[in-house]
Chain A
Amino acid sequence: MTVAASTPMLRRHALAATALRDRILSGGVPWTLVIFLLMATVPWLGSRYDTFLASQITIDALFAVSLNLLLGTTGLVSFGHVAYFGVGAYVCGILMKTYGVPFSLAFPASGLGAALFALVSGYFCVRLIKLYFAMLTLAFSQIIWAIAYKWNAVTGGDQGLPEIPYPHLDWMSSIPGCADLSIGARFYLLTLVLVAVSLAIVHHIIRSPFGRVLTTIRDNPERAAFLGINVRLYQLASFVIAGGFAGLAGALYGIFSRGVFADYVFWSKSAEILIMTILGGAGYFWGPPVGAAALVWLNQVITDYTQYWSFVLGAILLVLLFGFPGGIVGGLDMLWQRLKRLRNA
C-alpha cells in the first residue's frame, strides 16, 4: 500500500512560496508584525461589528492554517478536520461552563484533548491511502457529530451548550486605553494574541527540520521512505499537531460565538474550511488566513444583497478550481512574477 502520493500542484506552489517569502524578507518590512498591529487597532478604530468580523477572521485563520499543515505541508487531504475543532470547542466549553474551570486551564486542555483524539484517530487514518484517508477522517468527524448530537447530558445534544462564560479579563482595565473596551473587544484582543502565538509556532514548525521532512513526504513519499524516514510516524505527528491547533481554534470559537453546537461538527463545515484554505492558497503559509479574511468579508457583503450565499460560494469555488487553482495568494504571486519579468525584459 502506498502512502499519500505526491501532489505536483502543491509542490509547484510551495516552490513559488519560498521565492515569495524570500522577497518579502529581503524587503526588510516585518509584515507579520504590521498585520498584527493593524488588526489590534480594530476595537478602537472600527465599530463593534468590525471587531466581531475581525474575531471571526482571526479564529478561522488559525483553523485554516492548522488544516493547511496537513494539506499544504504534508500533502494529506482531510475531509474531517472539523472533528478536532469541535472536540476543542466542546472540551473548553464543558470545562468552563459545567465545571467552572478557568480559561487559562481550559484553553490548553482543549488543544490537548483535540491532539489526543487526533492521535487515536490519526493512528488509523495515516495507514490508509489518499481517498480512504479522506473517507476515514470524514467517518471520525461524523462520529464526533453523532456523539455531540445525541449525548444530551454532556454536550446538550440538539440544544448545544449556550452561554459559555467569557474568560476573566478584568485585568485588562489596568492596561492604558483598554479600560473602556467591552468584554467582546477584550476577548478579541486575547484571541488575536493567542492566534498570533499559535501561528508563529506553526510557522516555526514548518521551517524546522521536522517541517522539511514533512514537505519531503508530501513531494515524494516513496523517496522519503527510501531515505529511511518513518513516513507514517511523521504524518501522524503532523496530524496530531494540526488537530491540536484546530482544537485551540475551536475553543476560541465556542467562546466567541457564545455557545457550542452540534452543527459546528457537521461534515459540510470541513468542506467550508477546505474551501477557505484553497481560496487563500494552500501552497502558502499566509494563504489560509487570506482565504479566511476573504470569505468572512465576502459573506457579509453578499448576504446583504442576497440570501443565496451558498450559490455564490459554489460559483467562487468553480472559478477557483477552473481558473485560479493557486488561490488568491497564488494569483497575486503569479502577477508579481509577470511584472518582474516585464521589468527585467
Chain B
Amino acid sequence: MYRRYCLALAFAAAAMWPAASKAADIKIGFPIPLSGPTAVYGKPVLAGAQMAVAEINAKGGVLGRKLEILPRDSKANADEAVRLSRELIIKDGVDFLVGTLTSAEAPAVSTVAKENKIVFIAPTSKSTILTDAQHIHPYIFRVASNTDVEGLAGATLMARWKDVKTVATIAPDYAYGRDSMAAFIKALKKMRPDIQIVDQQWPKLGEPDFTSFITAQMGKKPDAIYSALFAGDFVTFTKEATPLGYFKAINNRFIDGAEIGTTDEAQALGKDYPYGVIGDSYDPVLWTGNEPPVHKTFIEDLKKFTHAQYASGWSIVGYQSIYALAAGITKAGSTNSDAVSKALTGLTWDTPVGPRTFSVKSHETFAPEYWGEMIKEPGIPFAVINNPELLPKSFPATN
C-alpha cells in the first residue's frame, strides 16, 4: 500500500516535470469529439483552431509566448467532456479552455470553467442555456449563434413557402435540439400563425436506426419539415429516409439549421445527399459571386494546412475562437482569466467572414449563417449551397 502511494507520488512528480519546462507556452485545453458520428464536425473545428495557432505562433505568439493546443476526444459526451476538462485543468494546468461541439458538452464544461475560474470559449454550441441569464458567468464566451438566431433564420425561410400549412420537426433529443425547435416554432408562429405543427420526433443523438421515426413522421403527412439533425446522424438519417420516399413526399421542403450545408456534411454524404433541401453553414467555402479577398486567402491557407482538395466549412469557428482568445489576451496584457474575461466582454475582432463582437450582456456573438438550397454544381462531386443568403438580418428581439 505504502509503496503504491510512493509510486503514485513519484509518478506525479515525473508527470509534472515536462509541464514545468514548457511553462512559457500558453496552454489551451481543447475537448472536442474526434470519434464517432459527430467527429465529422469536430475534427475540422480543431483543424481551424490549430491553423490559427500556427499563424499566431509564426508571428511570435501572444505577449511573446507561444500558444499550444491540447486536443482531447470528448466523444460528444457531457460526462467525458467534464472529465477531460477537469483533467486538463488539474493535471495539464491549461490556462484556457476552447472547444466542445454539442450543447450536451458545452454547458457541462461551462460549469467546470466557472468553478475553476478559467475562460472557456465555445466555438459551436448553440443552445440558449449556455449563456442565458440563469447560466451566464464571467468565464463563458460563445462564438456560434444561439438557437434563437438559428430558429429565426429557419422560420424566415419556412414562412416564404406560402402554400405550406402543416409543418413537422425532427431533432436530436437534447438541449440543442429542444431549444432549436422551440425557437423555430416561436418565430414561425409570429410570421405565419396559419401554419400548424403536426408532428415532432426526438431521436437520440447518435441514433443508429431512424426508420420508425421516419415512418411515424411521414404518417402525419406534413407539407414541410424543419430539422436539427446533423453530422453522422444526418448521414444515417438520409440513407434511411431517401429510399422510404421521405424527401419526395414533401417535395424536398426540408430545412435543417444544423450546418448540413457545410462542405464536411456534403462530402460525407457524397452522391447520397438529398439534393434540393435547404441547409446552412457559417462558411459557404465555395463562394460564388463577390467573395471577400480575406476569405479567399483563408480558404487557400486552410486547404494547404489540412492537405485537402476542398476546404472545410467548419474550420472557421475554431479559427475565430483562437483569434478571439488571442485578442483577449493581448488586450488584457496577461493570461489571467479574470483579466482576459474583462477584455473579451464587448470585444470586436476581425474574422474572414467579417467582424464579430462578444455581447456585453450575454457573451455571445451575433453570427448569422449562410443558407440556401443544396444543389449539384458542375465539377464539384458534392452538394453546395445555391446563392448563399446571410440570415437572419438582425438579432432576434429576445436578445
Consider the complex of A and B and state whether they touch directly, i.e. have CB atoms less than 8 Å apart: yes
Among B4, B87, B114, B204, max chain A CB count under 10 A is at B4
Residue B39 is within 8 A (CB to CB) of chain A in the complex: no
**Residue on B nearest A48 in the bound complex, by CB:** B90
Contact of A52 among B73, B90, B173 (CB under 8 A): B90
Instruction: Give the residues in chain A near B107, CB-CB below 8 Å.
Output: 159, 162
Q: Are A259 and B204 in contact (CB under 8 A)?
A: no
Instruction: Give the residues in chain A near B111, CB-CB below 8 Å.
Output: 162-163, 258-259
Instruction: Give the residues in chain A near B87, CB-CB below 8 Å.
Output: 52
Q: Are A53 and B115 in contact (CB under 8 A)?
A: no
Query: Dominant SS at the A interface?
Result: helix
Instruction: Give the residues in chain B near A52, CB-CB below 8 Å.
Output: 86-87, 90-91
- A sample of 17 inter-chain contacts (CB < 8 A) reads A46-B9, A52-B86, A152-B173, A158-B173, A159-B107, A159-B108, A159-B174, A162-B108, A163-B111, A163-B115, A258-B112, A259-B108, A261-B108, A293-B4, A294-B4, A297-B11, A300-B91
A300 to B12, CA, bound (A): 10
A50 to B115, CA, bound (A): 19
Instruction: Give the residues in chain B near A304, CB-CB below 8 Å.
Output: 15
Q: Are B90 and A39 in contact (CB under 8 A)?
A: no
Residue A1 is within 8 A (CB to CB) of chain B in the complex: no
Taking the closest CB of chain A, its distance from the CB of B236, in whole angstroms, is: 17
Residue B104 is within 8 A (CB to CB) of chain A in the complex: yes
Residue B24 is within 8 A (CB to CB) of chain A in the complex: no
Taking the closest CB of chain B, its distance from the CB of A43, in whole angstroms, is: 13
A290 to B108, CA, bound (A): 32
Q: Are B78 and A159 in contact (CB under 8 A)?
A: yes
Instruction: Give the residues in chain B near A297, CB-CB below 8 Å.
Output: 4, 7-8, 11
Taking the closest CB of chain B, its distance from the CB of A323, in whole angstroms, is: 21
Q: Are B108 and A160 in contact (CB under 8 A)?
A: yes
Instruction: Give the residues in chain B near A227, CB-CB below 8 Å.
Output: none
Q: Are B108 and A158 in contact (CB under 8 A)?
A: no
Q: Produce 1/0 per residue, B95-133, CB < 8 A to A.
A: 000000001100110011011000000000000000000
Residue B344 is within 8 A (CB to CB) of chain A in the complex: no
A35 to B9, CA, bound (A): 15
**Residue on B nearest A149 in the bound complex, by CB:** B204
A158 to B78, CA, bound (A): 8
Name B188-221 residues within 8 Å CB distance of A: 204-205
Q: Produce 1/0 per residue, A1-43, CB < 8 A to B.
A: 0000000000000000000000000000001001100110000
Instruction: Give the residues in chain A near B108, CB-CB below 8 Å.
Output: 159-160, 162, 259, 261
Residue B331 is within 8 A (CB to CB) of chain A in the complex: no
Instruction: Give the residues in chain B near A163, CB-CB below 8 Å.
Output: 111, 114-115
Residue A337 is within 8 A (CB to CB) of chain B in the complex: no
A163 to B112, CA, bound (A): 8
Contact of A35 among B1, B12, B79, B103 (CB under 8 A): B1
Q: A52-B91, A160-B104 are in contact. List 13 more A-B contacts (CB 8 A).
A: A46-B8, A48-B90, A52-B87, A52-B90, A158-B204, A159-B104, A159-B108, A163-B114, A257-B79, A259-B111, A261-B77, A297-B4, A304-B15
A-B contact count (CB 8 A): 97
Q: Are A258 and B115 in contact (CB under 8 A)?
A: yes
Contact of A257 among B11, B12, B77, B82 (CB under 8 A): B82
Taking the closest CB of chain A, its distance from the CB of B273, in whole angstroms, is: 27
A208 to B112, CA, bound (A): 44
Name B221-274 residues within 8 Å CB distance of A: none
**Residue on B nearest A303 in the bound complex, by CB:** B87
Taking the closest CB of chain A, its distance from the CB of B205, in whole angstroms, is: 6
A92 to B230, CA, bound (A): 34
Taking the closest CB of chain A, its distance from the CB of B321, in whole angstroms, is: 21
Name A131-190 residues within 8 Å CB distance of B: 149-150, 152, 157-160, 162-163
**Residue on B nearest A53 in the bound complex, by CB:** B8
Q: Are A259 and B78 in contact (CB under 8 A)?
A: yes
A293 to B1, CA, bound (A): 9
Instruction: Give the residues in chain A near B157, CB-CB below 8 Å.
Output: none
Contact of B78 among A31, A47, A261 (CB under 8 A): A261
Instruction: Give the residues in chain B near A34, CB-CB below 8 Å.
Output: 1-2
Residue B360 is within 8 A (CB to CB) of chain A in the complex: no
Known A158-B204, A159-B108: A45·B9 in contact at CB below 8 Å? yes
A258 to B110, CA, bound (A): 12
Known A47-B12, A159-B174, A159-B175: A261·B79 in contact at CB below 8 Å? yes
Instruction: Give the residues in chain B near A152, CB-CB below 8 Å.
Output: 173, 178
A34 to B5, CA, bound (A): 12
Q: Are B204 and A257 in contact (CB under 8 A)?
A: no
Residue A318 is within 8 A (CB to CB) of chain B in the complex: no
Residue A301 is within 8 A (CB to CB) of chain B in the complex: yes
Known A158-B104, A159-B107, A162-B108: A263·B91 in contact at CB below 8 Å? no
A258 to B112, CA, bound (A): 8
A31 to B2, CA, bound (A): 10
A51 to B371, CA, bound (A): 50
A35 to B91, CA, bound (A): 24
Residue A226 is within 8 A (CB to CB) of chain B in the complex: no
Residue B83 is within 8 A (CB to CB) of chain A in the complex: yes
A300 to B84, CA, bound (A): 12
Taking the closest CB of chain B, its distance from the CB of A147, in whole angstroms, is: 14
Instruction: Give the residues in chain A near B70, CB-CB below 8 Å.
Output: none
A307 to B8, CA, bound (A): 20
**Residue on B nearest A304 in the bound complex, by CB:** B15
Residue A103 is within 8 A (CB to CB) of chain B in the complex: no
Taking the closest CB of chain B, its distance from the CB of A201, in whole angstroms, is: 21
Residue B63 is within 8 A (CB to CB) of chain A in the complex: no
Residue B16 is within 8 A (CB to CB) of chain A in the complex: yes
Q: Are A50 and B12 in contact (CB under 8 A)?
A: yes
Residue A49 is within 8 A (CB to CB) of chain B in the complex: yes
Q: Are B78 and A162 in contact (CB under 8 A)?
A: yes
A158 to B8, CA, bound (A): 34
Residue A264 is within 8 A (CB to CB) of chain B in the complex: yes
Instruction: Give the residues in chain A near B90, CB-CB below 8 Å.
Output: 48-49, 52
Known A149-B204, A159-B107, A258-B112: A38·B78 in contact at CB below 8 Å? no
Instruction: Give the residues in chain A near B77, CB-CB below 8 Å.
Output: 261, 263
